[in-house]
Amino acid sequence: MTSSRSDITTSFSNKSTSNFSRNFVGNTALRMLKPEKLFRCLCLFAAFEAACLLDTGMLFPRESSSREVKELNGVWNFRADRSPDRNQGFDAAWYKRRLAETGPVIDMPVPASYNDITQDPTLRDFIGWVWYEREVVVPSRWIADKGTRVVIRVGSAHYYSVVWVNGVRVTEHKGGHLPFEAEIGALLRKDPTQPCRITIAVNNTLSLDTLPPGVIQHMTDHTKYPEGYFVQNIYFDFFNYAGIHRPVLLYTTPTAYVDDITVVTDFSDNTGLVKYKVSVQNAASATFKITLMDKGGHCIASSSEPSGVLKIVDVNLWWPYLMHENPGYLYSLEVVLLAAEGSASNDVYTLPVGIRTVDVTSTQFLINKKPFYFHGVNKHEDSDIRGKGLDWPLMVKDFNLLKWLGANSFRTSHYPYAEEILQMCDRHGIVVIDECPGVGIKDIRSFGNASLTHHLVVMDELVRRDKNHPSVVMWSVANEPAAEMPPADYYFKTLIKHTKELDPTRPVTFITDSNYARDKGAPYVDVICVNSYFSWYHDPGHPEVIPIQLNTQFENWYGKYQKPIIQSEYGADAVPGLHSDPPVMFTEEYQKLVLQSYHNVFDQKRKQYVIGELIWNFADFMTTQGIMRVVGNKKGVFSRQRQPKAAAFILKERYWRLANETGKLPAWTKYPCSL
Ligand code: GCB
């Protein structure tokens, strides 16, 4: 099938006008634009207004002349509540005293999943509340200075968390993978002689309305199971790692502070536009100094307004890796909230800003108005010992492997990854499809109101956290839900509409493995993302069916929707070191063959409407035990220890070739490079 490439473009910065946009007509940056460009910009700003629906911000904690950060990484005290109802910790108020005074404690690293830290199988598979605790020395000037806000922030904890400081409950949060925080300055000042004792209880129990969903099953047949026996059933294919997965830290701001910043960018010819909006707290009459700096630290635009448009002459756009000789260019937007007369200090926050646009046509994905082909991977936050805990060496190693592979993109399958990872993507030009934890929505009860309400909140939190990352080009609201069930229609219509209202500047999708004719969510997405495992879960051992089945898959989806398609998963398990020729399943040769057979079809279809291919998976990862898994999922092209299988070399050759064809290769063109 062929199709025209000049069809309707959906600009994700182009929706409607509003009072907000009209306020900016007087702006110098706008006055200098040609009428048609001006219209695009006005629309862009109107869309931007909708992106600010949330009340408070969740800026990544950064040090500045007005802000300090104290990381609480290291060894915490830990106890799993093994009481039958897992409620002893609350009944006996473990948070009121030192944890060691209420029972035995063990050492537990933070950040890390607790599951693989000890030799105890019951902790590995523990379900219920676990308790973390540590005492912190807070700098005395933080306490002495009443003009300092002290905030505790948890990067993520899985799944439900309650936080106490010196026995006082300061916050709770539902959901893993996303940050939460609380102001604790006033509490600490109540008794400055006390050390700051932080207690965090975390519960990994999943239910039908959590994301991801799960079900606790109680086994009551005492001829088969001991008294009180229960298991956690899940509908997703990764180990339900739990604990405090990302850094816990204290940070300060002045009382009047920069609470949130939203940027939306555009460009016209060689002029870049940064539309920004700053919101503040506790500042009755705020005055600002806003400065945009280039990489060299030179001021290139400035303003004194809380919102506006900054114009950049001879703009350096943010380009993906392998699409430009200078990918991942970031400006710095320094926001200074000037102290009111008589008040103590300014607040300073500096946000990295990449200037780029994203558009989708019926056959293409455009970044900076040029076709972008996703040649990338799906990942997991997963490794030996740490489970899902953030780990810098692993993170940097993974980026080196991505670049070695020639991958220009990944999907955050199947939950939001650490902000530190997205910051790396921004800097290195790795394009991201940002997925929420909507994985395993298989039971019809998980389409109910409670589930949908929570899912909408999770999207609020995700967009609030990640809206300013240039690397994030699309939101994924779910992975492989039961999209053929009748309630899926209303569910996805509502969810996708809400996400677009939160952020009209990016396309929205979800990842499907449903039948193209019966999928009830597909009508609402901007890009069709399909997973398929021909010759693995279907026709196992028969890779010869791949060309015909994959071709049919693409023709069916495109024929029905005329939307661009990403092959969002494909692959085969290979146990590293297992060989056979002719290839049989689970060998490195079979994995290679499956990949190559898929690639042949991609090469035909990418000339038409296929806009990307993301291998399942970057690396082997841990799963629940089961007859389908050999110590985890082995579809990685790298082992869990990040050593390449034969498939990695196939992919490397292909991705570098694709980069040559679809992008502009930098002069170095060879890995390793200095980026
Ligand atoms: C899928 C899922 C992914 C699994 C993969 C597999 O479709 O989206 O979570 O791990 O298949 O290997 O079965």
| Cα 567 to ligand 1 centroid, rounded to whole Å | 13
**Mean pLDDT, range 560-572, rounded to an integer:** 98
Going by DSSP bridges, is the β-strand pair 214-218/148-154 parallel, antiparallel, or unpaired?
A: unpaired
Query: Is 598:608 a contact under the CB 8 Å cutoff?
Result: no
| Cα 26 to ligand 1 centroid, rounded to whole Å | 52
Lining residues, ligand 1, CB within 6 Å: 237, 414, 479-480, 513, 531, 569, 616, 633, 635
**Reported confidence tier of residue 27, pLDDT bands at 50, 70, 90:** very low
In this structure, which residue's CA is closest to atom 2 in ligand 1?
A: 237
Residue 414 alpha carbon, nearest atom of ligand 1: 9
Q: pLDDT per residue over 346-391, tens digit each?
A: 999 999 999 999 999 999 999 999 999 999 999 999 999 999 999 9
Please report where in the chains the tokens 């000789």 appear, as a residue. Answer: 325
Most informative mutation of 595, 616, 637, 640 for ligand 1 (most atoms within 8 A of CB) = 616
Provide the pLDDT for residue 669: 58
| Cα 532 to ligand 1 centroid, rounded to whole Å | 9
In this structure, which residue's CA is closest to atom 4 in ligand 1?
A: 237
| 3-class secondary structure, 569 | strand
Whole-model pTM: value is 0.93
The number of helix segments (H) and strand segments (E) in the chain equals 14, 33
In this structure, which residue's CA is closest to atom 7 in ligand 1?
A: 531
Provide the pLDDT for residue 179: 98
Q: Is the pLDDT of residue 29 over 90?
A: no
345 vs 223, higher pLDDT:
223
Catalytic residues: 480
**Mean pLDDT, range 160-174, rounded to an integer:** 98
In this structure, which residue's CA is closest to atom 10 in ligand 1?
A: 237
| Cα 237 to ligand 1 centroid, rounded to whole Å | 6
The 3-state DSSP composition of the chain as helix, strand, coil percent (nearest 5) reads 25, 30, 45
Most informative mutation of 411, 531, 569 for ligand 1 (most atoms within 8 A of CB) = 569
Q: Is the pLDDT of residue 19 over 90?
A: no
Q: Is the pLDDT of residue 44 over 80?
A: no
In 209-298, where do the E strands start and end? 214-218, 230-234, 243-244, 248-254, 257-268, 271-281, 287-293
Q: pLDDT per residue over 319-342, tens digit each?
A: 999 999 899 999 999 999 998 776
Q: Is the pLDDT of residue 14 over 50?
A: no
Query: Is 372:611 a contact under the CB 8 Å cutoff?
Result: yes
In this structure, which residue's CA is closest to atom 9 in ligand 1?
A: 237
Mean of all residue pLDDT scores within the chain: 92
| Cα 542 to ligand 1 centroid, rounded to whole Å | 19
Residue 571 alpha carbon, nearest atom of ligand 1: 12
**Mean pLDDT, range 31-56, rounded to an integer:** 48
CA distances from 157 to 131, 136, 201, 202, 629 (A): 12, 19, 9, 7, 26
Distance from C-alpha of 131 to C-alpha of 169, rounded to nearest angstrom: 14
| 3-class secondary structure, 619 | strand
Q: Is the pLDDT of residue 38 over 50?
A: no
Most informative mutation of 236, 237, 623 for ligand 1 (most atoms within 8 A of CB) = 237
| Cα 36 to ligand 1 centroid, rounded to whole Å | 45
Q: pLDDT per residue over 488-515, tens digit each?
A: 999 999 999 999 999 999 999 999 999 9
In this structure, which residue's CA is closest to atom 13 in ligand 1?
A: 237
Residue 511 alpha carbon, nearest atom of ligand 1: 8
Residue 236 alpha carbon, nearest atom of ligand 1: 9
Q: Is the pLDDT of residue 10 over 70?
A: no
Share of the chain above pLDDT 70, in %: 90
Q: Is the pLDDT of residue 618 over 70?
A: yes
In this structure, which residue's CA is closest to atom 6 in ligand 1?
A: 237
| Cα 426 to ligand 1 centroid, rounded to whole Å | 27
Quote the tokens at residue 663. 């992008």
